[in-house]
């Protein structure tokens, strides 16, 4: 039986939630975040790091976020001072993370194309499991 896009998205959100929890984060999954449009899919908190994630599991050439949703995420990031990342799970590949500033305006949306996939950060880069860390602006810091 084929899984609906919503079921597939939920499965991958839960997968990423578990991965973050295994790294010591308390993670809240925003049920219905795709339909209400006012919050990221996941909010992950630890004693030293906070981040929010909009999850995209997609096999296409690009992932897009509608301008209205993108604006809401920018405002969410500004009000909370918690960086928001778009996490893209492409088949047979690890999650890649992109700060909002990495998305490119395409007219009706903001997006990342498959050519940019390798430039995305790995999970350890985002959560501080490696020497790299990220400021809310998306800049890498040592």
Q: What are 62-98's pLDDT values in tens digits?
A: 899 999 999 999 999 999 999 999 999 988 888 999 9
Largest Cα–Cα separation, the chain: 47
**How many whole angstroms separate alpha carbon 24 and alpha carbon 7?**
26
Tell me the β-bridge partners of 140: 134
Q: Model pTM?
A: 0.83
CATH code for position 132: 3.40.1350.10
> Is residue 138 predicted with pLDDT exceeding 60?
no
| Whether residue 33 lies in the annotated active site | yes
Q: How many domains does the chain have?
A: 1
Can you tell me the mean pLDDT for 28-42?
74
Q: Please tell me which residue in 4, 33, 46, 130 is annotated as part of the active site.
A: 33
Q: What does the radius of gyration of the chain's CA atoms come to, in whole angstroms? A: 14
Look up the domain containing 84 and give its range: 5-141
Burial category of 28 from C-beta neighbours within 10 Å (exposed 0-12, middle 13-18, buried 19 and up): middle
**How many whole angstroms separate alpha carbon 3 and alpha carbon 118?**
27
Higher pLDDT, 6 or 142: 6
């Amino acid at each position: 039986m084929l899984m609906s896009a919503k079921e597939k998205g939920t499965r991958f959100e839960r997968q990423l939630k578990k991965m973050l929890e295994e790294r010591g984060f308390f993670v809240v999954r925003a049920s219905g975040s795709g339909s209400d449009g006012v919050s990221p899919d996941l909010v992950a908190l630890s004693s030293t790091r906070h981040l929010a994630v909009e999850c995209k599991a997609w096999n296409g050439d690009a992932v897009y976020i509608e301008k209205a949703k993108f604006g809401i995420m920018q405002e969410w990031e500004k009000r909370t001072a918690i960086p928001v990342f778009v996490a893209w799970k492409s088949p047979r590949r690890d999650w890649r993370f992109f700060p909002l500033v990495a998305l490119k305006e395409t007219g009706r949306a903001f997006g990342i194309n498959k050519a940019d996939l390798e430039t995305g950060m790995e999970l350890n880069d985002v959560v501080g499991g490696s020497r790299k860390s990220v400021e809310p602006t998306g800049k890498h810091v040592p």
